[in-house]
Chain A
């Protein structure tokens, strides 16, 4: 089955700096890669996702890049703010007409702390 590795497990940055979280996946058939943000005591919420037919996707201060050849994808947060402090999870899955495994496999998470 799919295996997703996520690094680093903790990340501390100063407000205004950029933060990068990296994930690798094992199944070359995976084609859908979402990122979730979980604030303390809350549910995980989808913040951005990317499909394998594109290499990069941006939404304001966050962006995700995908390297299918190397089987890794990354989350980039620019101009970090204290409210960005949370646990971030990457995930991978296979979706589409060519087949689906119907479920997401998650990385173990990264605790991001943005210091004011």
Chain B
């Protein structure tokens, strides 16, 4: 049972390049999320999904796209990276219909630098 796995852990991009961050969970969770963490800003929600095939915008969605084709995977895409997207990105999942906890399980994070 690995929990929530994020790949890659580190990445450096040039401005204008694209990339996809992968989040995978093996807990049969219904909900999945992408947050970014910046100094002094806490955790801000980018996009989230409440089930396979669904996505919704969070607080800071501009410049990002997401897809959830399979229940266990949630992909975050940057189509044209900008220096303002330099951040640490955390994926999280929550809520199993058979469980009682609504708390998040976080992945280990992806440190992205855009130069």
A interface list, Cβ under 8 A from B: 1, 6, 9, 32, 34, 36, 42-46, 49, 89, 93, 95, 102-109
Interface string of B27-60 (1 = CB under 8 A from A): 0000101010000111111001010000010110
Give the residues in chain A near B74, CB-CB below 8 Å: none
In the complex, number of A-B residue pairs with CB atoms less than 8 Å apart:
49
Give the residues in chain B near A43, CB-CB below 8 Å: 90, 106-109
B interface list, Cβ under 8 A from A: 31, 33, 35, 40-45, 48, 50, 56, 58-59, 90, 101-109
A44 engages B43 (CB within 8 Å): yes
Known: A43-B108, A44-B90. A93 touches B41 (CB 8 A): no
Give the residues in chain A near B33, CB-CB below 8 Å: 103
B104 engages A104 (CB within 8 Å): yes
From residue A78, how far is it (CB to closest CB) to chain B in Å?
A: 22
